[in-house]
A and B are shown apart, each in its own frame.
Chain A
């Protein structure tokens, strides 16, 4: 063991000398590893960024929520026409459900409509306008930058008031003076009573509350769409995550009663959960992960082949040196250690450069995509580069280790 440590130290010092003696070659060789490590680190942080954005986005919906809906979100077994042929969920259904349901903290009906919102000469298009009631705020985790959610009076009276998502408010009121102004939605005036705080879950796109506006539900039916054409979704919040299943069971029972289903009839509604969304996201991210790491792994593999190639050249060039070392007592293991540590060091240097490059690039990418390089990326880079060095250095090192000293000494 003691000998091995001496040999390792000797191996490392030889490696540094050899690398210093062949600077340009070392730099060129490392390039493959630099690119490989950069892409692996960037890819893994990007994937992590996407993942955490999704998680954050889903969490902003409220983690204990159920959605009673005509549609099944991630439907695998019910034919779509059966879903389409279901009766719409109506406001009457909601009223009855709300009356009968004992477990939920809050429940709110929602319908949405995509609209253009105007304030004076400013316009924002394709905004998801959610129609709901004053209970809605209690089914979410939303905070306010200014104002409040519309109250029960405004809600039940169908007053023309609106709560703007932060992004919408920012676009319409760059100076941040949205409160109490009147915006026009499809030509109808709505008074801004509240502006939501930024949620920042970019990944949810239009489903991000930042890009939405909320109005009392009657206004949607009155101005945008006839009630009879629209199915209402009930947002239901359970008191805690342990209670979600009980709330779900209760909801199924109540809804069957409300809808007047016989015992032999299937549910003509779906109870959707975030969990289904999360599962779907996990699946998608898993695929991205495998594909991404496979592709970046390829670039690392190319780098590794470059290292192997140059190590074979290095062994060939230093045949005589190997002969000398063997003649004065270097064992196979000694030579093996020497060349493997040389290749590991080259790769480690490449890995470090790659890591620095990845950090710089991630700062650039951060402008579009929330990535952050964590300490585990550092560990990843070190482990990957050393591993690459050891693996790609092994074959050349082994060929050096088993050189015949007589032949090697004779080599010119």
Chain B
């Protein structure tokens, strides 16, 4: 691993700092959020899901977003994932202001730039693993043979080369989540957005999945992890704690938990 990726953990950290200053001193933020708020109208009542949130996330960061239910963390995740737009404020994503985009523009961004991993896997039940992974490429307009190759490659990377024609109900929970991760990776997105990815898995399987995320991170990907479990959050290098629609704390993980490689993935 060290030969492939010349930076040790601390060096990788420094590398990030260098990254920030490239491009003529302009910071290379993938995500730049300024004073966003999200207000829902529930009946006659206004609900402030997010009050005033500003944050930056750089390339190749590993960020966990934590918070109790009702804190606004889901809302923040939806906005980060371009599934929703803020009521106020600016969301600059990969240099593009997406805060006022319409449905179709957002769909395009999600398709190209964001890989989603959900707690409940959210695979298409009637399609096999290969087709599930192909799906984002279909929407991106990638031609058939290239699409199949890339999907197969992504499945190989998550260690499911021998399961490509299995349907979700023929796979274990961990395998399903791997398919979902392959689907998230296949478009080579700018960020991977994982919403409680281990929530429906047992501890052992969850740990495997976290190891896989670590591998993906070490390949240079940017990962945003939404969780309410402290020990899962500690896999990340930075934790954002949300409460009552505000960022309560933005901390660097001093003693990051690095999962053991278990050989399940080929990365």
Report A's interface with B, CB cutoff 8 A.
2-3, 6-7, 10, 17-18, 21, 320-321, 323-334, 402, 404-406, 409
Contact check: which of B103, B112, B135, B140 meets A325 at CB < 8 Å?
A: B135
Q: Do A328 and B83 touch (CB < 8 A)?
A: no
Would you give the shortest CB distance from B155 to chain A, in whole angstroms?
16
Q: Tell me whether B104 and A328 are in contact (CB under 8 A).
A: no
Q: Which residues of A contact B135 (CB under 8 A)?
A: 10, 325, 328
Instruction: A300 to B142: give the CA distance in the assembly, Å.
Output: 39
> Which stretch from B20-28, B55-63, B121-129 is at the chain A interface?
B121-129
Which residues of B are in contact with A by a Cβ distance under 8 Å? 78, 81, 83-84, 103-104, 107-108, 110-112, 116, 118, 122-124, 126-127, 135-136, 138-141, 183, 187
Across the interface, which residues of B come within 8 angstroms of A325, CB to CB? 135, 139
CB distance from B256 to the nearest CB of A (A): 29
Q: Across the A-B interface, give the 10 residue pairs with the lowest CB-CB distance, nearest first.
A: A329-B111, A3-B141, A329-B139, A328-B136, A331-B107, A324-B122, A331-B104, A17-B126, A405-B83, A406-B83
In angstroms, Cα B118 to Cα A330, docked, is: 17
Residue in B closest to A326 when the chains form the complex, CB atoms: B107
Cβ of B101 to closest chain A Cβ, rounded Å: 12
| Contact with B83, one of A17, A320, A327, A332 (Cβ below 8 angstroms) | A327
CA A6 to CA B127, docked complex, whole Å: 17
Chain A residues in 8 Å Cβ range of B183: 328
A329 to B110, CA, bound (A): 5
- B136:A329 contact, CB within 8 angstroms: yes
Flag if A328 contacts B116 (CB, 8 Å): yes
- Tell me the bound Cα distance from A329 to B107 in angstroms: 5
A-side contacts of B140, CB under 8 Å: 329
Chain A residues with CB below 8 A from B123, complex form: 324
Closest Cβ of chain B to A399, distance in Å, is 14
Known contacts A324-B124, A328-B111: A7-B138 contact under CB 8 Å: yes
Count chain A CB atoms within 10 A of each CB in B81, B126, B136, B138 and give the residue with the most.
B138
From residue A374, how far is it (CB to closest CB) to chain B in Å?
A: 39
Do B138 and A6 touch (CB < 8 A)? yes
Measured between C-beta atoms, what is the minimum distance from B103 to chain A in Å? Answer: 6
- Shortest CB–CB separation between residue B124 and chain A, in angstroms? 6
Cα-based distance from A323 to B123 in the complex (angstroms): 11
Q: Which residues of A contact B108 (CB under 8 A)?
A: 329, 331
Complex-state Cα separation, A328 to B137, whole angstroms:
9
**A406 in contact with B84 given A324-B122, A329-B111, A332-B104 (CB within 8 Å):** yes
B80 → chain A, closest Cβ, in Å? Answer: 12
Q: How far is the CB of A324 from chain B (nearest CB, A)?
A: 5
Q: Name 8 A/B residue pairs within 8 A (Cβ), A-sorted.
A: A3-B139, A325-B139, A326-B107, A327-B122, A329-B108, A329-B140, A331-B104, A406-B84
Nearest to B115 among chain A residues (CB) is: A328
Nearest B residue to A333 via CB reads: B104
Neighbouring A residues of B110 by C-beta, 8 Å: 326-329
Asked if A409 contacts B122 (CB within 8 A), the reply is yes
Partner of A2, one of B103, B112, B141: B141
B78, B135, B139, B140: residue with the most chain A Cβ atoms closer than 10 Å: B139
Query: What are the residues of chain B within 8 A of A331 when measuring CB–CB?
Result: 103-104, 107-108, 139
* A334–B139 touching, CB < 8 Å: yes
Q: Known A-B contacts: A21-B126, A329-B107, A332-B107. Give 8 more (CB < 8 A).
A: A6-B141, A10-B135, A327-B83, A327-B110, A328-B116, A329-B110, A329-B139, A332-B104
Q: Which residues of B contact A320 (CB under 8 A)?
A: 122
Within 8 Å CB of A328, what residues of B?
110-111, 116, 135-136, 139, 183
Contact A330 B84, CB 8 Å, known A324-B124, A325-B135: no
Q: How far is the CB of B170 from chain A (nearest CB, A)?
A: 16
Chain A, residue nearest B135 (CB): A328
For B84, the closest partner residue in chain A by CB is A406
Contact partners of A21 in chain B: CB under 8 A: 126
Instruction: Determine the chain B residues whose CB is within 8 A of the CB of A405 once the complex forms.
Output: 83
**Nearest Cβ on chain B to A170's Cβ, whole angstroms:** 64
Q: Which residues of A contact B141 (CB under 8 A)?
A: 2-3, 6
Cross-chain contact B78 with A330 (CB below 8 angstroms): no
Bound-state Cα–Cα, A323 to B195, Å: 15
Nearest CB on B from A333, distance (A): 8
CB closest chain-A residue, reference B127: A17
A10 surroundings in chain B (CB, below 8 A): 135, 138
**Is A329's CB under 8 angstroms from B112's CB?**
yes
Most buried by B among A18, A320, A324, A329: A329
**Which of A21, A323, A328 is most buried by chain B, counting CB atoms within 10 A of its CB?**
A328
Question: Measured between C-beta atoms, what is the minimum distance from B254 to chain A in Å?
Answer: 34
Closest to B78 in A: A406
Contacting residues, chain B, for A18 (C-beta < 8 A): 126
Q: Which residue of the partner chain, among B107, B112, B187, contacts A330 with CB atoms under 8 Å?
A: B107
| A residues near B118, Cβ cutoff 8 Å | 409
Docked Cα-Cα span, A302 to B112, in Å, equals 43
Instruction: A42 to B264: give the CA distance in the assembly, Å.
Output: 63
* Residues of the B chain whose Cβ atoms lie less than 8 Å from the Cβ of A404: 84
Chain B residue numbers with a CB within 8 Å of A6 are 138-139, 141
Chain B residue, CB-CB nearest to A335? B107
Q: Given A406-B78, A406-B83, A406-B84 in contact, is the A330-B139 Cβ separation under 8 Å? A: yes
List B contacts of A402 (CB < 8 A). 103
CB-defined contacts of B136 to chain A, threshold 8 Å: 328-329
Residue among B83, B118, B127 having the largest count of chain A Cβ atoms under 10 Å = B83
The minimal Cβ–Cβ distance linking B20 to chain A, given in whole angstroms, is 29
> A331–B103 Cα gap in the complex (Å)?
7
Task: Kindly report which residue of chain B lies nearest to residue A327, judged by CB atoms.
Answer: B116
A218 to B183, CA, bound (A): 98
Complex contacts, A406 vs chain B, CB 8 Å: 78, 83-84
Complex Cα gap A7–B124 (Å): 16
Closest to B183 in A: A328
Q: Which residues of chain B are near A333, meaning CB under 8 Å?
A: 104
A326 partner residues in chain B, CB cutoff 8 A? 107, 110
Give min CB distance, B226 to chain A, whole Å: 13
**Bound Cα distance A320, B127 (Å):** 15
A161 to B139, CA, bound (A): 85
- The answer to whether B116 and A7 have CB atoms under 8 Å apart is no
Question: Shortest distance in angstroms between B154's beta carbon and chain A's nearest beta carbon?
Answer: 13
